[in-house]
Structure 1
């Protein structure tokens, strides 16, 4: 009987050791994946900051002014002034669509007739 107890205990210890090894291995894999994602995020943030710096460099007002002057014949670009904007009254807004699907007069009048008949029955 003791040998059976020792055998079950040994098998339990082996099973727990295998489970702990597997959990440790899965944890290490998850941590490696997390580190890889963090490295990728850092690289993408660096690339984004470089692109923002390039965009700011390319959008310098003096550079854009030179480009406009060089391409004036083709593009006809002029500085924006207040005369380039319209008045609020000049905006053509679309008319709202009629909502006949919400209230149908036939159904509404039928409900009113039913309610009035019910009220006459209930209230003397």
Structure 2
């Protein structure tokens, strides 16, 4: 199997995580805040449109986002990835062949 070329990571994505904060009522709540930016490769996988009630359409687009292992090892399933105004929810994270070289993050795009 050929080695992955490191110059393939040409898209800079932002990693957002749930950060605890105290609101004005002194209650603990969570909100997404940017944790870091990393270089990645974004590969579209599948897409589908589903017609819902009241003539609304639900778009389901999935992507595979590949990052270096050292940069992405802090990423967990409860985080979000942002790229040029697109938001991605993480479905699962795969470490191919357990080589600790890259992480493949399978995501669903959040369509507003």
Q: What TM-score bracket applies, with the shorter chain setting the length?
A: under 0.3
Structure with bigger gyration radius? 1
Q: Between the two structures, name the one with larger relative contact order (CA 8 Å, sep ≥ 6).
A: 2
Q: Which protein is richer in helix relative to its size?
A: 1
Q: Could you tell me the TM-score, scaled by structure 1's length? A: 0.13
Q: Which protein is richer in strand relative to its size?
A: 2
Q: Could you tell me the TM-score, scaled by structure 2's length? A: 0.14
